[in-house]
Amino acid sequence: MTNITGEISKEDFVKSYALSIQKKEASIFVGAGTSIPSGNLSWTELIQPIADTLKININSYNDLVDITQYFLNDQAGNRNFINERILDSMSDQHNNNKTLQAISELPVSTFWTTNYDHLLEKYLEESGRKVDIKRNESSLTNSIRGRDATVFKMHGDKDDVNNTVITRDDFMNYTENHPNMSTALRGDFINKTFLFIGYSFNDPNLNYILGKIKKTNATNQRRHFCIVKRVQKDAPEYQDNDQQFHQDEVLQKYKVTDLNSYGIKTVFVDSYDEIPNI
C-alpha cells in the first residue's frame, strides 16, 4: 500500500511525539491490544461466548457492543454472565509484556485506558512510579500526594465489575453517567498530544472515543497519533483469500483517512513487536 492521507512515518512520529514529551504535553491511551501478550482476550474473544449464546455470527457485526446490549436485554438487565466473562477474560500476569514495559518507562505522566485489568498500573509501579488511579467518578475528586503518573480508567475496573462500560447503553449514556471523567478527557484532548496504542479499527472503544474527540474541538484539532498494524497479504487469515485481503486493504485506507479527520495520524507497523523499539 502506498502512502495514504493520514499516514506518518515512524521517524517523523518519533520526532513529533518526543517534542510533546519534552514539553510535558504528552499522554498515552492504552487499549485492549496491549494486554493480549499477557494472556488477556481481545474484544472479539471476550464477546464470542455471548454471541454464541444468542446464536449471532460475531463476524457480521461491526459494533460488538450491540451484542452485549442484546444479551443484557435478553437477560432482563441481569449482567452476571457479562461480568463473569470480563473477570474470566483477563489476567494480571506479566508474561514479559514488552510494550507495557516500554510505555511505563516513558517520561509521560498522564495515561488513559479502556482496559479493566491492572496491568498498566502494575508496570508503572514496577518502574518506580507513584500512581494515582482514577477508577470512577468519586476517585477524580481525590489525588495522591507526590504522584508522578495518573491512570484514568474511563471504562471502569475489574474490581468494580458491575459498573464497567461494555453495553451500548453504557456507551451512549457515558457523558451523563460519567460527567467528571468526560470533562477530564475533553480537557486532555485539548491540552495534550495523545498516542493510541492497542486499538484496532474494529475496536468499539475507539469509535466512541473518536466521537468525543470530534465533539471536543471540531475546528482547531490538536494532532494525535495511533500505531496500527498494516494489512499484510501473507497473514494467515488471507491464505487463499485474495478478495478478503484487497477488501481489508481498501477499508484500512479509508479508515486511516477517517482518523485523519479527527486529527489522528497513523503510524504503520508490520508487526506489533516493533512498538517497544519505537
Residue where the block lists cell 472503544: 205
The residues, any chain, with a CB within 8 Å of residue 271's CB and separated by 6 or more, are: 229
Calpha distance 95→141 (Å, rounded): 34
Calpha distance 31→202 (Å, rounded): 12
The residues, any chain, with a CB within 8 Å of residue 69's CB and separated by 6 or more, are: 167, 168, 169
Calpha distance 267→278 (Å, rounded): 10
Strand order in the sheet with 264-269: 131-134, 149-153, 110-113, 26-30, 193-197, 224-229, 264-269
In this structure, are strands 193-197 and 264-269 parallel, antiparallel, or unpaired?
unpaired
What are the Cα distances from residue 248, in Å, to 8, 42, 124, 201, 232?
20, 19, 36, 11, 9
Which are the catalytic amino acids?
Answer: 155
